[in-house]
Chain A
Amino acid sequence: EDKVVQSPLSLVVHEGDTVTLNCSYEVTNFRSLLWYKQEKKAPTFLFMLTSSGIEKKSGRLSSILDKKELFSILNITATQTGDSAIYLCAVEFSNTDKLIFGTGTRLQVFP
């Protein structure tokens, strides 16, 4: 059965901490892995990863994909209260319109 699993489900940190969010998957016909930041239900696209081992970076956020071990991580350095959100991971399938989401990781950053 195709599935995407995110961990941890919830994370509470203080400003300045570095966090690592995990997304593992078991899917057939993998095409890409997507990360979203969701605040008040409005998702914002962060990264699309298709190739193994190539880090994508945007400011304090970075992500990498390991297609051999079937997982991706999202790193946030020097966290700020504005990083508080739910982070969603989704996997796209090749040759179909299938898209499977994980349940999200809820990150809370306190001052």
Chain B
Amino acid sequence: KAGVTQTPRYLIKTRGQQVTLSCSPISGHRSVSWYQQTPGQGLQFLFEYFSETQRNKGNFPGRFSGRQFSNSRSEMNVSTLELGDSALYLCASSLWEFGYEQYFGPGTRLTVT
């Protein structure tokens, strides 16, 4: 079974631009969660989608948004990029919401200059 895939793996953007990251969960998984990993803040939860609905949201500004498609693939969008948005963005898929094991993707490394 193929694992969680994230594209692109690396991205360089400039301040003020916007970016869209993609996550394809493991086949059959319906939950996709997004996380931001930075050296200073560690791992922080962005949001979770289950069956195309946002079920949970972390404490991030409205510039961070996401969506999930009917095939469970998810996209995360960040508008008006700031230098502080430079991070590793991870997505994780699981069969159901809370309580089931999560499978993390390799992450997308976003660098904002």
> What residues make up the interface of A, taking CB atoms closer than 8 Å to B?
9, 36, 40-43, 45, 86, 88, 90, 97-101, 103-104, 106
Contacts and interface: CB of A to CB of B under 8 A. Distances in A.
Nearest to A106: B99
B102 A103 contact: yes
B44 A43 contact: yes
3 A-B pairs with least C-beta separation = A103-B101, A101-B104, A43-B43
A99 B98 contact: no
A90 B104 CA distance: 10
| Chain B interface helix/strand/loop/mixed | strand
Interface residues on B, range: 20 to 34
| Chain A interface helix/strand/loop/mixed | strand
A58 B88 CA distance: 27
A43 B48 CA distance: 13
A41 B98 contact: yes
Nearest to A39: B98
A43 B45 contact: yes
Interface in B14-47: 33, 35, 37, 42-45
Interface string B86-113: 0010101000001111111011010000
